[in-house]
Amino acid sequence: MASKRQFRVWRGDENGGDLQDFAVEVNEGEVVLDIVHRLQATETPDLAVRWNCKAGKCGSCSMEINGMPKLACMTRMSSFAEDETITITPLRTFPVMRDLVTDVSFNYEKARETPSFAPPAGVAPGDYRMQQVDVERSQEFRKCIECFLCQNTCHVVRDHEENKEAFSGPRFFIRAAELDMHPLDAKTDRKEYAQAEQGLGFCNITKCCTEVCPEHIKITDNAIIPMKERVVDRRYDPIVWLGSKIFRRTS
């Protein structure tokens, strides 16, 4: 079943690089990462690639395949036409280290700036009680494998390096949403924080993050928009205000 197919792989580092052509054998059932491995084992032993689990679980092998941000280990060769040349390039939004590997420390810095879970006061370990329906929304966001494909695709930073300072990106919007929806989180100003410090307002909900997320997390619909709405609650909504006066309910 093996056949030779055409590939173009970007090789280089911060001083420049180019797309190099290779003809590589492809077998039934293989994914793009298999091809990169075959190149390493044959023509280019020092071809740099980051990967780990090869099962779509760790989010290491993010790269751009025919221009689309994807996990190389989950992109099957059968999704391309036989005679199609497949172009493999590193993530564009982050600085390149070498070949297909980029420096993703932007994301780790943003993670560090995002306020952590605040445990409820006076609840001992083992005494946490939460209902399944109350944890489900946050659980969706905890499926995130930190592949940073969403961060890479988001035009706010992809096309505008200067926004990196003020914009945390979709991965950390879902983190903020996760904690805001966590039934026992004790911090109450996560929405304000998302708006003021994470740059939620930069997002124009064009949904590319959702489009590329390999975990199929509905980043925009279930995290970003609800967070924007929560900000609106606090600031502008007359009926919410009235309702809270009348019912004096805490949600």
Partner 1 sequence: MTNTATQPPRPRAAIAAKTLRTDRWWLAPLLTVLGLGAWVTYATVRVFLQNNYWVEKYHYLTPFYSPCVSKGCDPHAAHFGQFLPDSPLIPYAALSLPFLLLFRLTCYYYRKAYYRSFWMSPPACAVPDGHKTYGGETRFPLIFQNAHRYAFYAAVVISLINTWDAFLAHEKADGAFGFGLGNVVLWVNVIMLWAYTASCHSCRHIVGGRLKHFSKHPVRYKLWGWVSVLNGKHMQLAWITLATLAITDFYVMAVAAGWINDLRFVG
Partner 2 sequence: MTELQRFQYDVVVIGAGGAGLRAAIEARMAGKKTAIISKSLFGKAHTVMAEGGAAAAMGNVNSNDNWQVHFRDTMRGGKFLNHFRMAELHAKEAPERIWELETYGALFDRTADGKISQRNFGGHEYPRLAHVGDRTGLELIRTLQQKIVSLQQEDFAATGDYEANLRVFHETTITELLLTDGKIAGAFGYVRESGEFLLFETPAVVLATGGIGKSYKVTSNSWEYTGDGHALALRAGATLVNMEFLQFHPTGMVWPPSVKGILVTESVRGDGGILKNSEGKRFMFDYVPDVFREKYAETPEEADRWYKDADNNRRPPELLPRDEVARAINSEVKAGRGTKAGGVYLDIASRLPAEEIRKRLPSMYHQFKELADVDITAEPMEVGPTCHYVMGGVEVDPDSTQSRVPGLFAAGEVSGGMHGSNRLGGNSLSDLLVFGKRAGEHAAAYADSNGPSTVAQSDVDAAIAGALAPFTNDGENPYALQHELQLVMNDLVGIIRTEAELAEAITRLAAIRERVSRVQATGGRRYNPGWHLALDLRNMLVVSECTAMAALERKESRGGHTREDHPEMAAEWRKVNLICGLDGEKVTLNPQPLPPLPPELLNLFEKSELKKYMTAQELEGHGG
Q: Using the rule CB under 8 A, is 237 a contact of partner 1? A: yes
Residue choice 50, 171, 190, 230 for contact with partner 1 (CB under 8 A): 230
Spatial separation of the C-alpha atoms in residues 246 and 224, rounded to whole Å: 29
Sheet with 68-71: strands ordered across: 16-26, 3-13, 86-89, 62-65, 68-71
Total residues contacting partner 2 by CB under 8 A comes to 59
| DSSP letters spanning 37-79 | HHHHHTT-TT-----S-SSSSS---EEEETTEEEEGGG-BGGG
Stretch that binds partner 1, among 41-49, 50-58, 118-126, 229-237 (CB under 8 A): 229-237
Select from 30, 34, 64, 178 the one that contacts partner 1 (CB under 8 A): 64
Choice between 109 and 221, CB closer to ligand FES: 221
Please, are residues 149 and 90 in contact by the beta-carbon 8 Å criterion? Answer: no
Q: Which of 204, 113, 107 is nearest to 151 (CA)?
A: 107
**Residues of span 86-125 touching partner 2 by CB under 8 A:** 97-99, 101, 103-104, 108, 111-112, 115-117, 119, 125
**Helix H or strand E segment including 64:** strand 62-65
Could you say whether residue 90 binds partner 1 (CB under 8 A)? Answer: yes
161 part of the interface to partner 1, by CB under 8 A: yes
- For residue 247, the tally of other CB atoms under 10 A from its CB is 8
Position among 123, 206, 232, 243 found at the interface with ligand SF4 (CB under 6 A): 206
Q: What's the DSSP call for residue 99?
A: T
Choosing from 166, 196, 205, 240, the residue that interacts with ligand SF4 (CB under 6 A) is 205
Nearer to partner 1, 41 or 68 (CB): 68
Shortest distance, position 101 Cβ to ligand FES, whole Å? 13
The closest of 148, 167, 159, 161 to 64, measured between CA atoms, is 148
Tell me which DSSP letter residue 52 carries. S
Residue 208 and residue 221: Cα distance in Å, rounded?
12
State the nearest-atom distance from the C-beta of 225 to ligand SF4, in Å: 9
Contact flags string 59-88 toward ligand SF4, x per CB under 6 A: x-----------------------------
Please report, as ranges, the residues that interact with ligand SF4 according to CB under 6 A.
Answer: 59, 144-150, 153-154, 156, 170-171, 174, 203-209, 212-215, 217, 219-220, 224
